[in-house]
Amino acid sequence: MSRLARIAVASVAVAAFGLTMMATGSFAADPANGKKVFAANCVVCHGDKGDGHGPASATMNPKPRDFTSATEMKGIDDARLHKSISEGRPGTAMVGFAKTLKASDIDDVIAHIKSLLKK
Ligand code: HEC
């Protein structure tokens, strides 16, 4: 095979792999970026450990969610996380981030939040 043909075959393989990953939705989110997004946008309320005790949380009612608590996070699946982070929680201090964060940042911050859960 010529060098060019080999490059062409390799590119097709890479593209096919990418499409498969997209189709199966298994493109890995990036928790390291999620941590940065969290630090910049969420810690004031949720706290740097994600336990809901950020500096601004004291007077809030309801309190920011404790992402380390299996009890508090029970039943909150990815779809709900996505909706709450994008659109906020009406009637609470939890604002929506659909306008301020990229879609990939929201996916990444979800991966970070899920890593905080104590098993
Ligand atoms: C101004 C304070 C504040 C900031 C900033 C904030 N949150 Fe919240 N968040 C809250 C409060 C208060 C709640 C509790 C809402 C409730 O009980 O319904 C909450 C709840 C949540 C929940 C649970 C929602 C649900 O469906 O029950 C998630 C997930 C969440 N926040 C993620 C984030 C992420 C990610 C960021 C940063 C991108 C962020 N929050 C920034 C105050 C905040």
Q: What CATH number has the domain bearing residue 71?
A: 1.10.760.10
Domain count, the chain: 1
C-alpha span between 106 and 112 (Å, rounded): 10
Q: CB of 110 closer than 6 A to ligand 1?
A: no
Which residues 6+ apart lie within 8 Å of 79 measured at CB?
Answer: none
Residue 36 pLDDT: 98
Pocket test for ligand 1, best of 46, 102, 113 (most atoms within 8 A of CB): 46
| 5: in domain | no
Q: At residue 21, does pLDDT exceed 70? A: no
Can you give the residue range of the structural domain that contains 46?
Answer: 30-116
C-alpha span between 79 and 73 (Å, rounded): 13
| 41: in domain | yes
Higher-confidence residue of 10 and 75: namely: 75
| 55: in domain | yes
| 73: in domain | yes
Ligand 1 atom nearest to 63, measured from its CA = 12
The DSSP H or E segment spanning 71 is: helix 70-73
Residue 1 pLDDT: 72
| 16: in domain | no
Q: CB of 85 closer than 6 A to ligand 1?
A: yes
Q: Do 117 and 52 touch, CB atoms closer than 8 A?
A: no
| 10: in domain | no
Q: At residue 26, does pLDDT exceed 60? A: no
Which residues pair with residue 88 across a beta bridge?
95
Q: What is the mean pLDDT of the chain?
A: 89
* pLDDT class of 77 with cuts at 50, 70, 90: very high
